[in-house]
Chain A
Amino acid sequence: MSDLAAQRVRPAEAPAEPWQDNYLTSEQGILSWFTTTDHKRIALLYMASLLAFFIIGGFAAVMIRLELFTPAQDLMTADEYNRMFTLHGTVMVWFFLVPSIPNTLGNFLLPLMIGARDVAFPRLNLSSWYLFNGAGLLLLFSLLLGGVDTGWTFYTPFSTMFSNGYVLLAALAVVLVGFSSIMTGVNFIATVHLLRAPGMHWFRMPLLVWALYATSIVIVLATPVLTASLLLIVAERGFGLPVFDPAHGGDPLLFQHLFWFYSHPAVYIMILPSFGVISEIVTCFARRRIFGYTFMIYAILCIAVIGFLVWGHHMFVSGQSLFASLIFSFLSFVIAVPSAIKVFNWSFTLYRGQITFEAPMLYALGFIGLFTLGGLTGLFLASVPIDIHVTDTYFVVAHFHFIMVGGAVTALYGGLSFWWPKITGRLYPEGWARFAAVLMFFGFVFTFFPMFIMGYAGMPRRYGAYPPEFQIWHVMASSGAVLLAAAYLLPMGYLTLSLFRGARATDDPWAATGLEWRTRSPPPRHNFEPMPVVDEGPYLYHPEAEGPHHTDREPHERQGRGA
């Protein structure tokens, strides 16, 4: 281990030339950032915006956990509490989780990983960032005016006829941010189809690229439905067009169908990219090829497709027919299979490896644990009779936080540590990072595991005041949240510090495979000099014969530009 560590750290006083010409230094001045079309710089712009929204959403979470420390409604009024959890949900889902990995790590890495100079539409990429910020400002404006109290789900007829918050403004903000994600989705799809390096055929692509590709397809197909359903809310609330109002023949349940047709796939928009990140990390630190590469790809694609067919499992008690509920239940059980395959494959990737436990690996192992728990509790929710009891309770709250926070956010932190040397050219402090990774795992479990128990005991969600018999679980959750908040803040501190104090990173500090490590750290403006040619599959960490079998396919004919 020591010789490897020595390789990784290049002393700071070594000759400084290689890293002086890079994408960070190629242009100077604030304006060069706001007009850049460089996917790497746009990734950093997105990081700044997302950090701001993560802090706003996190602040709301802190307020919620503080209020719930005691059974009585004492810190905030009932209305303030309702606005607080609406703020938390809206900001975290659309302004943090959906764009989290794709728009930061994805934007930075996708062209690097397929050996391209940039994404297919660099200007579209920059405009998506502007649109994202515009939408964000609109949302913040609605919050400053007084906020929204509908919950992030905007259920009708509450949102159209009874809510007294700034629903129209918030809905428009979400519509706009939807277009921003569609722009990114279209861009990624075009990039993967058109700009792969010579020899980078489909079954040589790293799994992160596959995951981002599948995510982009889901984004492009699902988001317009969200736009349409929110515009229907605008039509009814703003212009009195009766769509959901039963007094005029409308159907309030129609909104739930439309909303979940987007919002269930949205869960996969949040989790699929983290599957990709974890695959990159686990292979690197186990020094193994991924176990079952093709199975992993088909699992990603299966999840992306079946994810569109399970929305009705949010509506088992809504009054939809039992027959419909059973079909949605069946499909929800089916979608558990590809997720289970991925967990088993990650576990078996460790088999016969040369495993080391740097911080990204600790994050990845934590991810697998939390995702397994989140996935298994999904089986409870897929069963109609159990879901009838636990839906709209803290059981559901715990379940989706395990997937979307324990899963996606842990993967984001893991990925950020893993590619930090590539992005910034600096190494983060390993000891602090390992500590944060372990703290994040335990803080998360302390915060959210009690919610399973109180949820099954009957504690409904979105309650600012609650019966005293649930207090012990809320106190545990609120105390765990302190640890979790510390674990989320810690990397922000040491990563920022490493920008100034960190040791210079070599081009490939983890001795990882993958094209992004074949260029300098930080990469030059146009990524590669000269452009790479690919002649082997991904994750070749050991001799071919010693690894899990990979059937190398016929090279897929490259589309677009002639070879």
Chain B
Amino acid sequence: MSGVTFWPPEASAAAARVDVIVIALLLISTAIVLLVGGLILGFSIRYRRGSNAQRGQLPEFIQKEVEVGWTAGTLFLALFLFGWASITVLTAEKPQADALEIHIEARQWMWKARHPDGAREINTLHLPAGEPVRLLMQSQDVIHSFFVPAFREKQDVLPGRITQLSFTPTEEGEFSLFCAEYCGTLHSRMGGKVVVMKPEDYARWRAAQPQEDDQSKEGEALFRTVGCSGCHAPASPVHAPSLAGLYGRLVNLADGRTVRADEAYLRDSILQPRRDIAAGYAPIMPTFAGILREDELQKILAYLMSLRREGGS
């Protein structure tokens, strides 16, 4: 037995905000337990068979007013708690544009992380303290869940779809990482640690990792080799939309809807190109489902997202 944990460390910006609600709820719950316990215990003693307490006609106010009173009381309490919790999550849930983007790949039974310049690690995640982080996560097989108790953050990681988790680590140190969604035989070993370092230490750590081509550079190469550039390059004779600066922009669709070109949209457009046709273009793009492997798709997505900076500015 190595020490006792009563309360998990608070190591993210969200952790303190969650803990405040939890403590408030603990106080309210304690009050309610004392109230109900007090009522039951008090009545049990006072009105035990044969005691001298007064029985007979009930006072008038006890009849309906009490009932309506505690119905309204609990309803207001419930609405107040709902409002507080919702405001907390609504104001916290704002992914920042300049956040550090890290790709997480989950598989039975490990976590793989890939940092912006290609540094990779397994079952460990190095992060700079005080900087907003955005995890772009995907599973290769079943559903997993990325859970760091010290951050009070958890997000399921799905196959075939990217889920995101945005947070800001605030404390330096090592924190446990768990898989929280049951994923098979070694579910309980699918964990690791998150190492939060000073930003300059993090930069030094990243530079010390074996360098690889940036993910978006690999994506650019794939963009040419699998044939995307045949239509989407600016000089192409085919009438296809240019993808420069597309990421994050609003796109008008042929059926009159407008969608934001986020990762999900880009991904769907590659795998199911006929689903959302951009206005003014013919539905001529073939699907790449079954042609691109998941990691290749991620690289192309990374490339398309990197075009934002070049095209946008």
Give residues in A with beta carbon < 8 Å to B. 1, 73, 78-79, 82, 149, 151, 153, 155, 157-158, 161-163, 246-247, 249, 252-253, 286-287, 291-292, 295, 317-319, 322, 326, 329-330, 333-334, 336-337, 340-341, 343-345, 347-348, 350-357, 365, 368-369, 372-373, 376-377, 379-380, 382-386, 388-389, 391-393, 453-454, 456-458, 460-472, 542, 545-549
A341 to chain B: which residues have CB within 8 Å?
67, 70-71, 74
Q: Which 8 A-B pairs have the closest CB atoms?
A: A246-B160, A458-B149, A383-B85, A350-B43, A463-B188, A392-B180, A333-B78, A158-B142
B150 to chain A: which residues have CB within 8 Å?
458
Q: A246-B159, A385-B88, A470-B5 are in contact. Are A546 and B182 (CB under 8 A)?
A: no
| Cα-based distance from A206 to B64 in the complex (angstroms) | 20
Closest Cβ of chain A: how far from B30's Cβ, in Å?
Answer: 9
Closest Cβ of chain B: how far from A426's Cβ, in Å?
Answer: 24
- Contact between A348 and B156, CB atoms less than 8 A apart: no
Closest Cβ of chain B: how far from A473's Cβ, in Å?
Answer: 8
Which residues 106-163 of B sit at the A interface, judged by CB distance below 8 A? 108, 141-143, 145, 147, 149-150, 152-156, 158-161, 163
Q: A333-B78, A341-B71, A372-B36 are in contact. Are A246 and B85 (CB under 8 A)?
A: no
- Contact between B58 and A352, CB atoms less than 8 A apart: yes
| Cα-based distance from A376 to B89 in the complex (angstroms) | 21
Residue of B40, B84, B186 with most partner-chain A CB within 10 A: B40
- Contact between B153 and A354, CB atoms less than 8 A apart: no
A462 to chain B: which residues have CB within 8 Å?
182, 187-188
B89 to chain A: which residues have CB within 8 Å?
322, 326, 384-385, 388
Number of A-B contacts (CB under 8 A): 261
- Contact between A162 and B18, CB atoms less than 8 A apart: no
- Contact between A392 and B47, CB atoms less than 8 A apart: no
**Is B235 located at the chain interface by the 8 A CB criterion?**
no
Give residues in B with beta carbon < 8 Å to A. 1-8, 14, 17-18, 21-22, 25, 29, 32-33, 36-37, 39-40, 43-44, 47-50, 53-58, 62-64, 66-67, 70-71, 74-75, 78-79, 81-82, 84-86, 88-90, 92-93, 108, 141-143, 145, 147, 149-150, 152-156, 158-161, 163, 176, 178-189, 272, 289
- Contact between B161 and A329, CB atoms less than 8 A apart: no
Question: 5 interchain pairs (CB within 8 A)?
Answer: A78-B186, A354-B47, A372-B36, A458-B149, A460-B178
Q: A350-B47, A385-B89, A388-B152 are in contact. Are A334 and B142 (CB under 8 A)?
A: no
Query: Which single residue of chain A is at the shortest CB-CB distance from B109?
Result: A78
Query: Which single residue of chain A is at the shortest CB-CB distance from B189?
Result: A465
| Cα-based distance from A388 to B92 in the complex (angstroms) | 13
- Contact between B49 and A354, CB atoms less than 8 A apart: yes
- Contact between B25 and A383, CB atoms less than 8 A apart: yes
Q: A329-B85, A383-B85 are in contact. Are A546 and B57 (CB under 8 A)?
A: yes
Query: Which single residue of chain A is at the shortest CB-CB distance from B147?
Result: A460
- Contact between B181 and A252, CB atoms less than 8 A apart: no
- Contact between A354 and B55, CB atoms less than 8 A apart: yes
Q: A393-B180, A472-B1 are in contact. Are A295 and B33 (CB under 8 A)?
A: no
| Cα-based distance from A486 to B156 in the complex (angstroms) | 39
- Contact between A336 and B74, CB atoms less than 8 A apart: yes
- Contact between A162 and B187, CB atoms less than 8 A apart: no
| Cα-based distance from A287 to B58 in the complex (angstroms) | 14
Kindly identify which residue among B40, B49, B90, B289 contacts A368, using a CB–CB cutoff of 8 Å. B40
Q: A246-B159, A379-B81 are in contact. Are A157 and B142 (CB under 8 A)?
A: yes
- Contact between B185 and A82, CB atoms less than 8 A apart: yes
- Contact between B187 and A457, CB atoms less than 8 A apart: no
8 more contacts with CB within 8 A, not counting A457-B5, A472-B1, are A369-B36, A369-B40, A385-B17, A392-B180, A456-B7, A458-B150, A460-B180, A462-B187
B142 to chain A: which residues have CB within 8 Å?
155, 157-158, 161-162
B36 to chain A: which residues have CB within 8 Å?
343-344, 347, 368-369, 372
- Contact between A373 and B33, CB atoms less than 8 A apart: yes
Q: A319-B163, A460-B147 are in contact. Are A347 and B29 (CB under 8 A)?
A: no
Q: A1-B49, A458-B8, A471-B1 are in contact. Are A546 and B58 (CB under 8 A)?
A: yes
Kindly identify which residue among A82, A249, A379, A388 contacts B154, using a CB–CB cutoff of 8 Å. A388
Closest Cβ of chain A: how far from B136's Cβ, in Å?
Answer: 13
- Contact between A456 and B185, CB atoms less than 8 A apart: no
A340 to chain B: which residues have CB within 8 Å?
70, 74
- Contact between B82 and A329, CB atoms less than 8 A apart: yes
Q: A155-B143, A385-B85, A548-B63 are in contact. Are A350 and B40 (CB under 8 A)?
A: yes
A464 to chain B: which residues have CB within 8 Å?
188
Query: Which single residue of chain B is at the shortest CB-CB distance from A369?
Result: B37
B272 to chain A: which residues have CB within 8 Å?
249
- Contact between B188 and A73, CB atoms less than 8 A apart: yes
Kindly identify which residue among A246, A292, A393 contacts B67, using a CB–CB cutoff of 8 Å. A292
- Contact between A466 and B1, CB atoms less than 8 A apart: no
Kindly identify which residue among B40, B141, B176, B182 contacts A458, using a CB–CB cutoff of 8 Å. B176
Q: A158-B142, A458-B178 are in contact. Are A376 and B33 (CB under 8 A)?
A: yes
| Cα-based distance from A462 to B50 in the complex (angstroms) | 51
B156 to chain A: which residues have CB within 8 Å?
317-319
Closest Cβ of chain B: how far from A282's Cβ, in Å?
Answer: 10
Closest Cβ of chain A: how far from B52's Cβ, in Å?
Answer: 12
- Contact between B33 and A466, CB atoms less than 8 A apart: no
Query: Which single residue of chain B is at the shortest CB-CB distance from A82?
Result: B185
Closest Cβ of chain B: how far from A458's Cβ, in Å?
Answer: 3
| Cα-based distance from A369 to B53 in the complex (angstroms) | 24
Query: Which single residue of chain B is at the shortest CB-CB distance from A81?
Result: B188
B40 to chain A: which residues have CB within 8 Å?
347, 350, 365, 368-369
A158 to chain B: which residues have CB within 8 Å?
142-143, 182-184
- Contact between A365 and B21, CB atoms less than 8 A apart: no
Closest Cβ of chain B: how far from A341's Cβ, in Å?
Answer: 6
Query: Which single residue of chain B is at the shortest CB-CB distance from A371?
Result: B36
Query: Which single residue of chain B is at the shortest CB-CB distance from A282?
Result: B40
Q: A253-B158, A368-B36, A389-B154 are in contact. Are A347 and B49 (CB under 8 A)?
A: no
| Cα-based distance from A369 to B17 in the complex (angstroms) | 30
- Contact between A157 and B159, CB atoms less than 8 A apart: yes
Q: A456-B22, A465-B188 are in contact. Are A162 and B75 (CB under 8 A)?
A: no
- Contact between A388 and B153, CB atoms less than 8 A apart: yes
| Cα-based distance from A340 to B39 in the complex (angstroms) | 14
Q: A319-B156, A391-B154, A454-B5 are in contact. Are A386 and B18 (CB under 8 A)?
A: yes
Query: Which single residue of chain B is at the shortest CB-CB distance from A79?
Result: B185
Closest Cβ of chain B: how far from A260's Cβ, in Å?
Answer: 14
Q: A151-B182, A354-B55 are in contact. Are A389 and B149 (CB under 8 A)?
A: yes
Closest Cβ of chain B: how far from A328's Cβ, in Å?
Answer: 11
Kindly identify which residue among B93, B153, B178, B185 contacts A322, using a CB–CB cutoff of 8 Å. B93
Q: A333-B78, A368-B36, A373-B33 are in contact. Are A353 and B43 (CB under 8 A)?
A: yes
| Cα-based distance from A336 to B28 in the complex (angstroms) | 14
